[in-house]
């Protein structure tokens, strides 16, 4: 379930634009006003606001956000990625990830695995438009060996999105996975083929059969300290248990010494319109503290206010 709240009576686009203009151009930026508008409009509404803003004032709303004199960096960046269209946002996040390697591989796995197949294709299309390159081109160019072998097919996939499941196949492929993972042959061709090409419904059936037949959870078998194994874990979680995956990213981001704002902002901005309410419920079950409170404890100011607004947990 999404966490985004949109008022029953939304002001006209022209009105929203006027208000945003005054928020940027007044004496000091009016962050509260920015939040009260942008954090409560859905993707279609935000898109229209951006168009109308550009037509009315001859300036790109996103540039106004990016150059606001008094906006703090974390707040700015969160408003920016939130305001982007979902496919443009994914293209932006993926590009950031291909620029800085090491840990950012997770972002690529996240985009490749937790979006719907169609959303991933749209993100690749937006990537073309922004970067004059393809996503898989940049990923393949910047990686080698096992990382390339896993990441390129993941970001290139256009999985079947239906619910149909072939149980005979699930059985056969759970056997293959069990053999390979038990042998620690993590980057075996067959392991990557199965994870990179099968539909999410099919993979779910395969992993259920895995647990039933072998009495083990595949994720439990993937707890080596190895960086590639961690990517494989993220792949499986992202594909089959996306809410758990996001809860884990949020816990990591919040509980770290010094909050990892990039990860926190990314998850809140990308999921608010999708399943952030479900994720927040899972979070609370797991950590016995509401996600909103955990975030409020670790962040502050307008950044905190914007996160909490997207979580749908503002106090009126």
DSSP string, 185-247: -TT-HHHHHHHHHS-HHHHHHHHHHHHHHHSS-TTTT---S-HHHHHHHHHHHHHH-HHHHHH
Nearer to a copy of itself, 125 or 287 (CB): 125
Site for a copy of itself in 175-204 (CB under 8 A): 189, 193, 196-199
Residue 153 sits in the site that holds a copy of itself (CB under 8 A): yes
Nearer to a copy of itself, 63 or 160 (CB): 160
Structure tokens at 259: 């909050």
Of the candidate residues 18, 85, 96, 125, the single one contacting a copy of itself (CB under 8 A): 125
The Cα-based distances of 271 to 44, 111, 180, 276 in angstroms read 16, 12, 33, 5
Separation of alpha carbons 22 and 294, rounded Å: 32
Of the candidate residues 128, 184, 293, 297, the single one contacting a copy of itself (CB under 8 A): 128
CB 204 to a copy of itself: min, Å: 15
Separation of alpha carbons 203 and 241, rounded Å: 11
Nearer to a copy of itself, 124 or 271 (CB): 124
Of the candidate residues 9, 69, 73, 132, the single one contacting a copy of itself (CB under 8 A): 132
User: Is 24 assigned to a binding site?
Assistant: yes
Contact call for residues 99 and 66 (beta carbons, < 8 A): no
CB 284 to a copy of itself: min, Å: 36
Residue 21 sits in the site that holds a copy of itself (CB under 8 A): no
Residues across the chain: 316
Q: SS3 letters for 159-189?
A: CCCCCCCCHHHHHHHHHHHHHHHHCCCCCCH
Residue 141 sits in the site that holds a copy of itself (CB under 8 A): yes
Separation of alpha carbons 60 and 212, rounded Å: 54
Separation of alpha carbons 169 and 15, rounded Å: 56
Residue 168 sits in the site that holds a copy of itself (CB under 8 A): no
Contact call for residues 266 and 81 (beta carbons, < 8 A): yes
Give the total of residues touching a copy of itself (CB under 8 A).
32
**Binding segment for a copy of itself among 158-166, 231-239, 249-257, 306-314 (CB under 8 A)?**
158-166
Residue 99 sits in the site that holds a copy of itself (CB under 8 A): no
CB 275 to a copy of itself: min, Å: 23
Phi, psi of 59 (to 5 degrees): -135, 150
Contact call for residues 95 and 59 (beta carbons, < 8 A): no
User: Is 304 assigned to a binding site?
Assistant: yes
Nearer to a copy of itself, 205 or 264 (CB): 205
Contact call for residues 90 and 111 (beta carbons, < 8 A): yes
Binding site for a copy of itself (CB under 8 A): 117, 121, 124-125, 128, 131-137, 140-141, 144, 148, 152-153, 156-162, 164, 189, 193, 196-199
Q: Which residues are annotated as a binding site for Ca(2+)?
A: 24, 26, 28, 254, 256, 258, 296, 298-299, 304
Q: Which residues are annotated as a binding site?
A: 24, 26, 28, 254, 256, 258, 296, 298-299, 304
């Amino acid at each position: 379930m999404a966490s985004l709240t949109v008022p029953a009576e939304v002001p006209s686009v022209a009105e929203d634009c006027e208000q945003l203009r005054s928020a940027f151009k007044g004496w000091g930026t009016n962050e509260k006003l920015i939040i009260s508008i942008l954090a409560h409009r859905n993707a279609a509404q935000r898109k229209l606001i951006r168009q109308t803003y550009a037509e009315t004032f001859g300036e790109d709303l996103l540039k106004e956000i990016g150059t606001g004199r008094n906006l703090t960096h974390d707040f700015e960046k969160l408003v920016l990625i939130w305001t982007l269209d979902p496919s443009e946002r994914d293209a932006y996040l993926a590009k950031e990830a291909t620029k800085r390697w090491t840990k950012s591989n997770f972002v690529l796995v996240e985009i490749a695995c937790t979006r719907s197949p169609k959303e991933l294709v749209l993100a690749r299309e937006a990537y073309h438009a922004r970067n004059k390159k393809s996503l898989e081109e940049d990923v393949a160019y910047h990686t080698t060996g096992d990382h390339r072998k896993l990441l390129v097919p993941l970001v290139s996939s256009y999985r079947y999105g239906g619910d149909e499941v072939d149980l005979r196949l699930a059985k056969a492929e759970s056997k293959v996975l069990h053999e390979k993972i038990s042998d620690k042959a993590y980057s075996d061709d067959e392991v990557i083929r199965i994870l990179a090409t099968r539909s999410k419904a099919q993979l779910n059936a395969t992993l259920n059969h895995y647990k039933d037949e072998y009495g083990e959870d595949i994720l439990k078998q993937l707890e080596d300290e190895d960086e590639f194994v961690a990517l494989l874990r993220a792949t499986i979680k992202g594909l089959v248990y996306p809410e758990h995956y996001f809860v884990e990213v949020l816990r990591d981001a919040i509980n770290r010494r010094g909050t990892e704002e990039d990860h926190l902002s990314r998850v809140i901005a990308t999921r608010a319109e999708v399943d952030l309410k479900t994720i927040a419920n899972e979070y609370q079950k797991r950590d016995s503290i509401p996600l909103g409170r955990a975030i409020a404890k670790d962040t502050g100011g307008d950044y905190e206010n914007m996160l909490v607004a997207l979580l749908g947990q503002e106090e009126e």
